[in-house]
A and B are shown apart, each in its own frame.
Chain A
Amino acid sequence: AQSVAQPEDQVNVAEGNPLTVKCTYSVSGNPYLFWYVQYPNRGLQFLLKYITGDNLVKGSYGFEAEFNKSQTSFHLKKPSALVSDSALYFCAVSAAEDGNNRLAFGKGNQVVVIP
């Protein structure tokens, strides 16, 4: 079974400052890792994924994430936060050996960017 931990309920950051949202995971075998963002009353919007290769992956809207196998982490980062980045962020994992790509999500982090 796989699981995700997102330890912080809310992340507050000033506009223009770096943004980091933390995620650690547990999975049997090799992980596929994902970040999604959810705006109020909306579905999940795909940001980026790690499948294999370079540990630093770049995604949409200036977001990037770093895969760290030894720490089983996949933290989401953005160098300079915008007010429009305020939303709910979910980290998800699936097992590479699971051909069905069943996703396990964390509970989410509310990001608040302060103007």
Chain B
Amino acid sequence: DAGVTQSPTHLIKTRGQQVTLRCSPKSGHDTVSWYQQALGQGPQFIFQYYEEEERQRGNFPDRFSGHQFPNYSSELNVNALLLGDSALYLCASRFSGVVEQFFGPGTRLTVL
């Protein structure tokens, strides 16, 4: 059983560009959350998707947007990239009836 997978592993972009990160949840999971982990910090909640809708959002600007597909996979889009967006982006999935979330390996985004 594959766990949570994310692509790409690493990504380098320049300021002002746009980026799309992808996540496939663990089999049987229907809820996907995204977190940003800056260097030396704990993960910060960006938003959560369930039934293809954004259920809750953290303190992130509208430049951060997402989508969930009918197969429960998800995308995170970031527009107008800033240097401060450089971070490890983590996807977490869970089944809506349980509380524990399982994390993917992350996508390391570097903005130059």
Give chain A's interface residues, CB within 8 Å of chain B.
Answer: 4, 32, 34, 36, 41-46, 49, 51, 90, 92, 94, 100-108
Contact = CB atoms under 8 A, between A and B. Distances in A.
A49 B99 contact: yes
At the interface, is chain A mostly helix, strand, loop or mixed?
strand
At the interface, is chain B mostly helix, strand, loop or mixed?
strand
From B100, B102, B106, residue with most partner A Cβ within 10 Å:
B100
B4 interface: yes
Contacts of B55: 100
Query: Which range contains the number of B residues in contact with the other chain?
Result: 20 to 34
Interface of B: 4, 6, 33, 35, 40-45, 48, 50, 55-56, 58, 90, 92, 94, 99-106, 108
Given A42-B105, A100-B56, A94 B99 contact: yes
Given A43-B103, A43-B105, A101 B43 contact: no
A103 B41 contact: no
A101 B101 CA distance: 9
Given A100-B55, A101-B94, A102-B58, A108 B104 contact: no
A106 B48 contact: no
A49 B108 CA distance: 27
